[in-house]
Amino acid sequence: MMRNPKSSLNAGFRLPRAVFRALATVRKHPLVTVLYLTYACNLGCSFCVQRRSRDRRPKPNTDDIPIEAWSRIIEELAEPCLPRSRVHLTGGEPLLAEVFPRIVRLLWQRRVPWTMTTNGTLLESHAESIVQYCARNVSVSIHGPPQVDAQTARPKGTFARIRAGLEAVRRIRAIRKTRFPRITLNCVLGGHNYQIFDTLLDHLTSLEPDSITFQHPSEVIAGAAQEEIAKAVGRFMLNVSIKRGAVPVTFFPRVRLARLTQYYADPSSRFASTCSAPWFLLRVQPNGRVTPCGDNALGNVMRSSLHDLWYSEALSHFRRRLLRSGAQWKACHRCCHRAYG
């Protein structure tokens, strides 16, 4: 059985930070580079954490970096390094980015392992290149059957378009006689789907993914309703662990059952915890800004190499602050790039 990539991440977050610190100092650049190809998205999910900040940004694409800048990043990441540098493509919706086809071709030509996250609605028309250029994993965001689309402000027909995209990927995989990309369904849990937890796993399994991730939300809201959702999530986690079907299922980030109410409904709870992400991961925004996370800009790929930013004083300073204070900033409260006690 193939592992769910998020279960590897859950395990990785629990490694001693010394492992990541040692790794960071011997690498030319990050182990994982997340490329946000665009902030544009053709959906407007009610729980989208990007939506509010996207609304504050200039209109999509006005300051996006050109393909030459993305190519320079990929050339850098293709340089020999052990373990090999990986790229994760995301957005917004990365399949809306004009540069997408050229980027995946280049990643394949330069043998850089890559994965992606998509809302799946444009997957059918890009399935051929995604399989041809050897994506390792495609994570498709889907939060339940069609009635959940309405509750999350997703347009009618979203579920059907995702299903068609998944079928196209499976069909082309079969024609090309390859197992890749593996398909992971990523389902955010919350008020939009907790009342259908009894059937949720069956709905998602019927789409024939290779693995399923149930993601805890990245926002914490106080109140009795949220406590009820946390309890339902706890029961759901137990039921899923008892069922253990053919498709590997992971809950992400890892939160203990006993702490679910705290996670979902107690904004004052900070979960004393560390974060190792800035020692193995950098993000490149559509305008070329590079950050370890949030708005902590280190510089811009239009002016600096990824290598220089990886060894910059700005990143060292950020890591020192994180070591001193722990993952306790507002952005850290329910960030999915760390473990929760």
- Binding residue (CB under 6 A) for ligand SF4 from 104, 142, 232, 322: 322
Question: What does DSSP say about strands 289-291 and 249-252: parallel, antiparallel, or unpaired?
Answer: unpaired
Q: Shortest Cβ distance from residue 151 to ligand SF4 (Å)?
A: 13
Q: Shortest Cβ distance from residue 310 to ligand SF4 (Å)?
A: 16
Q: And the tokens for 91? A: 């957005």
Q: Which is nearer to ligand SF4, 141 or 213 (CB)?
A: 141
CA distance 148 to 154: 8
Q: Which residue has the tokens 């999910």?
A: 45
Q: Which is nearer to ligand SF4, 52 or 179 (CB)?
A: 52
Count, residues in the chain: 341
CA distance 190 to 276: 27
Q: Does residue 332 touch ligand SF4 according to CB under 6 A?
A: yes
Contact of 29 with 85, CB cutoff 8 Å: yes
| Helices (H), ranges, the chain | 5-13, 17-26, 49-56, 67-77, 100-109, 123-132, 146-151, 158-176, 197-205, 224-243, 260-265, 306-310, 313-325
Q: Which amino acid is at 124?
A: E
Q: And the tokens for 315? A: 């990143």
Site for ligand SF4 in 67-126 (CB under 6 A): 91-93, 119
Q: What is the 3-state secondary structure (H, E, C) of 97-124?
A: CCCHHHHHHHHHHCCCCEEEEECCCCHH
Applying CB under 6 A, the site for ligand SF4 has a residue count of 24
Q: Which is nearer to ligand SF4, 45 or 107 (CB)?
A: 45
- Binding residue (CB under 6 A) for ligand SF4 from 73, 123, 335, 339: 335
Q: Does residue 331 touch ligand SF4 according to CB under 6 A?
A: yes
| Binding-site string for ligand SF4 from residue 269 to residue 308, where x marks contact by CB under 6 A and - marks none | ------x-x---------------xx--------------
Q: Does residue 169 touch ligand SF4 according to CB under 6 A?
A: no
Q: Which is nearer to ligand SF4, 173 or 263 (CB)?
A: 263
Site for ligand SF4 in 42-71 (CB under 6 A): 43-45, 48, 50-51
Contact of 233 with 194, CB cutoff 8 Å: yes
Q: Does residue 255 touch ligand SF4 according to CB under 6 A?
A: no
> Which residues of this chain interact with ligand SF4, rule CB under 6 A?
41, 43-45, 48, 50-51, 91-93, 119, 141, 275, 277, 293-294, 322, 327, 329, 331-332, 335, 337-338
